[in-house]
Structure 1
Amino acid sequence: MEQRPARQLVPRITRRLNGAVASYATGDRAVPEETPVAFSYNGTTHAVMMATPSDMEDFAVGFSLSEGIISRLEQIDEINIEDHAEGIDIQIRLAGEAGQDLSDRRRRMAGPVGCGLCGIESIEQALKPVSSVDKVKLELAPDDIAQAVRLLSEIQPLHKETGAVHAAGFYQPGKGIVAAREDVGRHNALDKLAGNLCRSRIEGSSGAIVITSRVSIEMVQKAAIIGASVLIAVSAPTALAIRTAHAAGLTLVALVRGDEFDVFTRPERIPVAAAQIGSDTDEKPQRPHLNPDPAASTLIQSPTVRLVQYG
């Protein structure tokens, strides 16, 4: 299909102030496009998302991975992108057991629903045990954190034009940002990145994920599914995201502002910062005990480590 434009020029009236004097002018402004995107597996629609109409093949693979529909690229036989007047339909043909597993899941979910959340199985699914990245041996320097965010900001063409989309990137020490995707939805951007990494055969354990949004439980879950042991974010995390990162053994770095940042979980993957905290407090950083239940009422099981880059 011919790709839809990811942005549109729209007319606008601007009001600007010069001191106390206001002036008005007309002109065009670039805004991101938002399109309904349906995911259909083996001929049956599974979900519809609002998304930027770009990188649809990456989106198809990444969404399938994050939803647990597939665990590897070979479980997809074919992807067809169908552009209709009302939106885009991504037709995904699953191979063998993956298609049967999805059919079985649909049968389990069928039935009367009264709570508005697709029944208790959907609530359990939302808080499902997260993939563990506890054993991944990746270490970053404080400079890596600042560089990852800076480099991602430099390769966001759609955001530079519109100022209204999120980005997700993959940072490898010594290489920089090796992949990045943008979308109006922060979850979509991360799904597109996941699909691109999978299709490019880039191992998630080889680097860190960098996002321009806040950190919710879904972002942590997606990062762990990708296999990344470090998640770096410009904005703050939720309490449930912190608990989930602990459960996954994932290093969560957030509120990155230039050379400053906060580390909420697993600081030992940033050895210089962890050692500095240890010398400041005359204690070694406490290794958090993995919590198998992200929904547990305790915020975290070890003190949050608040770090500001130094030196």
Structure 2
Amino acid sequence: MDLAVRRLGLAEPGDCASLRSVPIEAPISIEVCGIGYAVMMATPSDLRDYAFGFALSEGLVSWPHQIGDIGIHEAEGGWIIRLWLPPEQAEYALERARKRVSESSCGLCGIENIEQVLRPLPVLTTGITTSRAAVARALASLPDHQPLGRATGAVHAAAFCTPDGEIIRAREDVGRHNALDKLIGALATDGIDPATGFILLSARCSYELVEKTVRAGCPMLVTISAPTSLAVERAIEAELTLVTLARADSALIVCDDRGRIR
């Protein structure tokens, strides 16, 4: 949406009226088998991808075909995503829904104690070989896949890259977790194996993003910002190659396991 603003001169003299694009942030209600599961604050675009990615990241399903149906409906003040699961998946989802209070898909929803937060991650078993030139190529082309980011300067992007650095899918959202969920959903519905490339994020590298990447089965995560301590610990545990502070001139390899960079 466009917003009328007044530009205030600080280093440069002079004020002026202007129009500024701002991203839409809206409540997205997620229902599972007719029961309210969560309400997320997100950008209401690519919601079908988001529904698939959210279900996969939350562990509600293991494969997209396990989702029976998805309904997406605009409602007063926001949107509703309705997921329908077969009985074996629905029972687990409904049990979590009874406990779940959430504002963002952060990986902590419905968890009752510290031990569950630190539950073991699966160890990645497949890897890729890429190059520093490929990482640089992906970084250089990321702005071309951020139309909303260019217009507003207020959203995150998640991109999936081939080993030679070509971005083949990208999604944007006001929430970094949501952007990654949308990307995971897009890969799943398009039949693209996350194990065949690496994920690039325009966000701080928090542990939730590491966990979502590992659970998706992707062997390498590249972020433009620094990692947290728990993100590093979880990446090492899962043998995820983690590359942070990625810039045009350099990057920091935090751990180097399943993704080999030549």
TM-score, normalised relative to structure 2: 0.91
Deviation at 1:165, TM superposition (A): 0.4
Aligned pairs (5 A) from 1:1-311: 8-16=1-9, 22-106=13-97, 121-133=112-124, 135-174=125-164, 176-266=166-256, 269-272=259-262
For 1:243, give the aligned amino acid.
E
Q: Distance in 2 between matches of 1:73 and 1:37?
A: 20
Q: Per-residue CA shift, 1:29-60, capped at 9, x if unaligned?
A: 00011000011000011111100010000010
Deviation at 1:145, TM superposition (A): 1.3
For 1:172, give the aligned amino acid.
T
Deviation at 1:164, TM superposition (A): 0.6
1:32 and 1:52 in contact (8 A); partners too: yes
Structure possessing the higher radius of gyration over alpha carbons:
1
TM-score, normalised relative to structure 1: 0.77
Moved more, 87-96 or 33-42: 87-96
For 2:126, give the aligned amino acid.
V
2:158 and 2:180 in contact (8 A); partners too: yes
Deviation at 1:228, TM superposition (A): 0.5
Instruction: For residue 32 of structure 1, give the secondary structure of its aligned residue in structure 2.
Output: coil
Q: 1:262 to 1:96 in 2, by over 3 A?
A: same
Q: Distance in 2 between matches of 1:216 and 1:175?
A: 23
Q: Per-residue CA shift, 1:280-306, capped at 9, x if unaligned?
A: xxxxxxxxxxxxxxxxxxxxxxxxxxx
Q: Distance in 2 between matches of 1:36 and 1:120?
A: 22
Consecutive unaligned residues of structure 2, counting only runs of 5 or more, are 102-107
Q: Distance in 2 between matches of 1:237 and 1:71?
A: 27
Q: Per-residue CA shift, 1:207-263, capped at 9, x if unaligned?
A: 000000011110000001111100000000001000000011100000011030000
Greater relative contact order, per chain length (Cα 8 Å cut-off, separation 6+): 2
Q: Distance in 2 between matches of 1:74 and 1:81?
A: 17
Deviation at 1:121, TM superposition (A): 2.2
How many residues are aligned here? 256
Deviation at 1:139, TM superposition (A): 1.0
Instruction: For residue 260 of structure 1, give the secondary structure of its aligned residue in structure 2.
Output: coil
1:131 and 1:221 in contact (8 A); partners too: no
Q: Per-residue CA shift, 1:123-150, capped at 9, x if unaligned?
A: 43332222221x2121111111111222
Q: Distance in 2 between matches of 1:118 and 1:247?
A: 22
Instruction: For residue 143 of structure 2, give the secondary structure of its aligned residue in structure 1.
Output: helix
Q: 1:125 to 1:38 in 2, by over 3 A?
A: farther
Q: Distance in 1 between matches of 2:173 and 2:7?
A: 26
Deviation at 1:10, TM superposition (A): 0.5
Q: Distance in 1 between matches of 2:72 and 2:111?
A: 33
Deviation at 1:101, TM superposition (A): 2.2
Q: Distance in 2 between matches of 1:153 and 1:38?
A: 30
Q: 1:268 to 1:231 in 2, by over 3 A?
A: closer
Aligned-residue Cα RMSD (Å) equals 2.1
The share of aligned pairs that are identical, in percent, is 40
Q: Distance in 1 between matches of 2:70 and 2:99?
A: 26
Deviation at 1:71, TM superposition (A): 0.6
1:220 and 1:244 in contact (8 A); partners too: yes
Q: Per-residue CA shift, 1:193-218, capped at 9, x if unaligned?
A: 00000000100100000000011110
Q: Distance in 2 between matches of 1:108 and 1:257?
A: 41
Q: Distance in 1 between matches of 2:163 and 2:174?
A: 28
